[in-house]
Amino acid sequence: MNGNNNGCPEALTLNERFRKFALCIAHFAGTPIAFMVSFLIIVVWAVVGPIFHFSDSWQLVINTSTTIVTFLMVFLIQNMQNRDAKAIHLKLDELIRALKGARNNLVSLENLSEEELELLERQFKRIAEKQRHHRQNTATESP
């Protein structure tokens, strides 16, 4: 358990607080309730349009609101995307490391340059092409 000398848990780091917040928001944003709340806000905004004579201020409310929400959601979504990608990479790295015969130099490919990735892609295409030819040859030789 994390703790300091007085037995109290350490304060959560900013990264950990943001991670938990982003996770909660991401989970909520993907629910039908979040969609319905957003939909109802749009309906209420549209219904009050005639009351405000569809003024510039009335339009500005929805434009500003959606811009702010979109701006903030971009960062939350990117955070979740980065975490998911990192977790997937680590899982794949572990599988590569654990498999006998796998090339361990393929671990952490995401850190290679674009040129190095293109070279590996060409190598894998050649391997796949050889396998395809081998399967075709074996299939035509079989009765």
Domain ranges (residues) in the chain: 1-105, 112-143
Q: What is the pLDDT of residue 110?
A: 82
Non-local CB neighbours of 122 within 8 Å, separated by 6+ positions:
none
Tens-digit pLDDT string for the chain (143 aa):
444 445 445 678 998 898 899 999 989 998 999 999 999 999 999 999 999 999 999 999 999 999 999 999 999 999 999 999 999 988 988 888 888 888 877 888 888 889 988 998 899 899 899 989 888 888 776 65
Distance, CA of 55 to CA of 102 (rounded, Å): 65
Q: What is the pLDDT of residue 4?
A: 47
Q: What is the pLDDT of residue 37?
A: 96
CA distances for 27 relative to 30, 51, 80, 93, angstroms:
5, 35, 10, 27
